[in-house]
Amino acid sequence: MNRPSDSGETLPKEQAVSNISSALRFRELAQENNKLFRESIPLIASENLMSPLAMEMLLSDFGFRYAEGLPGHRYYQGNQIVDQMEEFVVELGKKLFNARQIDPRPISGTVANMGTIYGLTSPGDTITTPALAGGGHISAAEFGAVGFRGLRRVELPFDPETMSVKPSEAASVIRKERPKVVLVGQSVFLFPAPLNEISEAAREVGAPVWYDGAHVLGLIAGRQFQDPLREGADLITGSTHKTFPGPQHGIAVGNAPEDTWKKIQRGMFPGVLSNHHLNTMAALGVTLAEELEFGERYARDIIRNSRALGEELHNLGFRVLGEKLGFTRSHTLALDVRPQGGGKLVAETLERCGIILNKNMLPDDDSRKSQNPSGIRIGSQEVTRLGMGPSEMKEIASLINRAVAKHESPEEIRNEVFELKKRFREVKYCFGRLEAYRYFRIMEE
């Protein structure tokens, strides 16, 4: 039997079956991906899991609507409830970060960075940034958002062992170059940035200090890493899906002068945004509430696990950066795995074993080695959210060692990975549905 199309025409049976099969294939792929990560140990430093309540927001009608502008100043009708939702997100964000200003509209951390660049700079301006070799993010690179804006980049000196900015040398660069904006923050963020020294130099030259906290936003929210707004930063931008365990979205957090904040908001809209993905903003709101309740304990456990994993890998003979300072004070570890064959080989070997992490460039890598760098990067935030602790970190370190140093069978190790992972399937540090209902009723009252 032929199936009628929406236009009233009858489709040939073979074409109708092919179209249905194509649509169902995406469902199959999603299920396959679910299975892959359900049976693997996820150690990507830039990923996390959302709570069930936050995930519900992604399937709501918010996902089909537009809301350009700010609450009360929209370009579309039908935004009365959207306005309430967005204002509530802002309220929760101010409370969590102890901030005067919150813009929850960026649809990713990079978009938050782009909006900041667009709002605070003009082509030809100078900006000081972390070096890519020192863990800086690609949005601060010449081939990223900073370069697309036509800015002159000056890199801040860093310590190759800790991948942290050197405070006195960085302050000297800022005083010499007199940048329009001072940017700190990394995608390999092992230790807090020396903001007090940097912000003092920035104030002398009249430059706002912008802190890219994409990776450590949840650690900041949990009061376990550093407090950028109290240490001299005017602005924090960030992703909301790394140590901050929410949706793939972005945020800007400020204690900036009002004229500076207005420039940043104009950079977001109409600078780099139109509609701002309302379902992910609602999921962000749920996560902000959960972080107010659970964030401090979650951040503390993330750091505890990272340090435990780093110490155990070091004891097994791996070169873990930052040894003199305890390997890390964040969710991230950086390892030099050249003795084990290099980052590409190690990452691919571990993937076959069901351990998912990424290859990563280290300070002495040539940029041409980006596809085969010296290092790997490990993040503990997702396994921590599933309830793993220091004893499981020892198990993971042993599995990594057996895979890439002892060269044991990937199939055997994968079976052990599966046995370990199946004990940890439930998302922690979040509300159940009844708890969430009670919490939001209290907030409304």
392-443 confidence digits (pLDDT tens): 999 999 999 999 999 999 999 999 999 999 999 999 999 976 555 554 455 4
Q: What's the pTM?
A: 0.93
Which domain, by its residues, includes 373? 295-421
Structural domain contains residue 36: no
Do 249 and 115 have their domain in common? yes
Do 237 and 326 have their domain in common? no
Do 148 and 195 have their domain in common? yes
Do 220 and 367 have their domain in common? no
Average pLDDT over residues 300-312: 98
Average pLDDT over residues 341-353: 97
pLDDT above 70 covers a percentage of the chain that reads: 94
Do 239 and 305 have their domain in common? no
pLDDT at 15: 78
Structural domain contains residue 33: no
pLDDT of residue 20 exceeding 70, the answer is yes
Structural domain contains residue 429: no
Tell me, letter by letter, the H, E, C secondary structure of the chain. CCEECCCCCEECHHHHHHHHHHHHHHHHHHHHHHHHHHCCEECCCCCCCCCHHHHHHHCCHHHHCCCCEECCEECCCCCHHHHHHHHHHHHHHHHHHCCCEEECCCCCHHHHHHHHHHHHCCCCCEEEEECHHHCCCHHHCCCCHHHHCCCEEEEECEECCCCEECHHHHHHHHHHHCCCEEEECCCCCCCCCCHHHHHHHHHHHCCCEEEECCCCHHHHHCCCCCCHHHCCCCEEEEECCCCCCCCCCEEEEECCCHHHHHHHHHHHHHHHCCCCCHHHHHHHHHHHHHHHHHHHHHHHHHHHHHHHHHHHHHHCCCEECCHHHCCCCCCEEEEECHHHCCHHHHHHHHHHCCEECEEECCCCCCHHHCCCCCEEEEECHHHHHCCCCHHHHHHHHHHHHHHHCCCCCHHHHHHHHHHHHCCCCCCCCCCCHHHHHHHHHHHHC
Structural domain contains residue 19: no
pLDDT at 104: 98
pLDDT above 90 covers a percentage of the chain that reads: 86
Structural domain contains residue 342: yes
Do 348 and 266 have their domain in common? no
pLDDT at 443: 47
Task: Label residue 2 by pLDDT band (50, 70, 90).
Answer: low
pLDDT at 47: 97
Do 377 and 270 have their domain in common? no
CATH code at 283? 3.40.640.10
Over the stretch 141-175, which tens digit does the pLDDT of each residue have? 888 888 899 999 999 999 999 999 999 999 999 99
pLDDT at 262: 97
Average pLDDT over residues 371-397: 96
Do 96 and 134 have their domain in common? yes
Do 113 and 208 have their domain in common? yes
Over the stretch 192-210, which tens digit does the pLDDT of each residue have? 999 999 999 999 999 999 9
Do 356 and 258 have their domain in common? no
Structural domain contains residue 160: yes
Task: Label residue 188 by pLDDT band (50, 70, 90).
Answer: very high
pLDDT of residue 13 exceeding 80, the answer is no
Over the stretch 83-135, which tens digit does the pLDDT of each residue have? 999 999 999 999 999 999 999 999 999 999 999 999 999 999 999 999 888 88
Structural domain contains residue 362: yes
Structural domain contains residue 86: yes
CATH code at 412? 3.90.1150.10
Average pLDDT over residues 278-299: 98
Do 142 and 238 have their domain in common? yes
The number of folded domains in the chain is 2
pLDDT at 138: 85
Do 118 and 261 have their domain in common? yes
